[in-house]
Structure 1
Amino acid sequence: MTIIQKEIASRVKDMREVCEMSVQQLAKKLDVDTETYMQYESGDVDIPASILYEISIIFNVDTSLLLTGEDTRMSSFAVTRKDKGVRVDRREAYDYELLASNFTHKAMEPFIVTVMPRNDNYIPEPNYHKGHEFVYVIEGQLRIYIKDNVIDLNEGDSIYFDSVNKHSMVAIGEKRAKFLDVLKGE
């Protein structure tokens, strides 16, 4: 577990407690079992971006507050210059760059995600969440597992899907995969 992972978990726990919601109530709203939620909140298990997004919707805060601890300020527009988005080092294999971190009350959460390839037959643990997701590959190749399907995407390819379906992603080929990932809650 990373320091960042612990800090995010602590902010989520603090938000839940401030809103006077029990662990069981929040787990139910997130459609995860209580034990899994408790692992998220303790920092023992990394909270998936999709779950963080759902938590932000439930508590009516921006995802960036949970990720960075900083409140948002912009309400008309937010400009993020190339490679200048807020970086969140949440998982060893994934690099997240928030593209609208300072915009308040977002209807969607855009990220640039960079994933390094693996040389084994690794299939990441699938996740699912309410809402929809859009992925556009900027560079490299990305393999997406969704339901019983395996879809390979190349540079310029995209996929839009209902995120309630279990899904996971992994870079394939020799170089990293970099992609735009947009989460939209219900």
Structure 2
Amino acid sequence: MREVRRAGDRGLLVEAASPHALRAAILAADLPGVTDVVPGEATVLVVASGGLELLERRLRDLEAGDEAPAGRSVEIPVVYDGADLAEVAELTGLSVAEVVARYGAAEYTVAYLGFSPGFGYLTGLDPALRVPRRSTPRTSVPAGSVAMAGPYTAVYPSASPGGWRLLGRTDLVLWDVRRDPPSLLGPGDRVRFVPSR
């Protein structure tokens, strides 16, 4: 039995060892009243139009495996000219070429979306590349900036403040309201970063 907590008037926050597997199980169960299922780092937010008490009981006992269905594969072309690339190399004790090679060798998974529309928190970063956020965030990071901090990497979908270390940039549009769905990345998608020049 898993822990389920109320989240406002229409939501339930469900603890999950594998949020993507639980999300898939909830969607497959076609539970009445569910309008949205949003995975987080260690939880799943279930939004419903009503009937939260019954839904809460069903979610506590819902069977979900440990394996999530594979998401789409997305390649993101990157120009590695980020303002923090040399500093990341210094912090990790690697050369710039080694940072780029290790970063590009990994396959990442979109753990969840947050911070701003289309901002995917990607897991799978080589532990040798893990560096802390900048001590002083930038007031504006350009859209398309490829960045990392701690165990995560991401692409800024729009210009915004940010304290992550900038490795490079991409021309891909991560968020477009005219697209269906608007976000290029979705939870569970697998991402590779490919040098574009």
Q: Choose between structure 1 and 2 for higher RCO, CA contacts under 8 A separated by at least 6 residues.
A: 2
> Is the shorter-chain TM-score for this pair beyond 0.5, marking a shared fold?
no
Work out which of the two has the higher radius of gyration on C-alpha atoms and give 1 or 2: 2
TM-score by length of 2: 0.27
TM-score (norm 1): 0.28
